[in-house]
Structure 1
């Protein structure tokens, strides 16, 4: 049937949760962006890189949010994740600019979100 489409209803984001993040290329991009000294790119190039990092930051934040929500309220890792997520929400609300500074800020955000994601996925510390 040509032109047909299916509307997907996934209010809990379960389908998205099943898809693994494409982490390696984004980490390589973050590393490259943060190593910039004085890049000479066109504003549109900066904007495209910032868009790529923004989209990935939102995907990582979604994973962090899902994992943090599954933790007991008494777990400190969830509270720290909430702090990082509030910071991420604020930084993602800032409009993109066609500048190296903007791109590097998005790269730092992706790095911070991956750090928090890793802390949420490692085994919980054993308390005596």
Structure 2
């Protein structure tokens, strides 16, 4: 057995682009979290759910970034995606808290990123 390691750099995110997002389970999680009224979970349970949503938000943001980068500069959808991505970066950099509010904020972020992704993947509106 060798003591060497190989570090792989994927600066263009090509490996990630090949992996489809598992959207359905996360949409179900987002729906459930946003429906909470008075949940009574332990702080570590909230943290675990927030970690799941954070990881998925990062993956969706990377997908949004790739799609936005492929658009022509004249397509305003790319500029809107940049706004959402900047907001996502700020929200994802905030420390996680073991609270329902924190988890619901991450769920809303995932929802917003999917909305933007859907808009980027639909055909461009016809010019008038």
Partners in 2 of 1:2 and 1:46 — Cα distance?
Answer: 40
TM-score normalised per structure 1: 0.95
- Runs (4+) of structure 1 exceeding 3 A deviation are 1-7
- Which residue of 1 is the match for residue 12 of structure 2? 12
Aligned residue runs from structure 1 range 1-128, under 5 A = 6-128=6-128
> TM-score, normalised to structure 2's length?
0.95
CA RMSD in angstroms comes to 1.3
Q: How many residues align?
A: 128
Tell me how far apart the structure 1 counterparts of residues 85 and 93 of structure 2 sit (CA, whole Å).
12
Q: 1-side partners of 2:114 and 2:60: how far apart?
A: 7
1:7 Cα offset (Å): 3.3
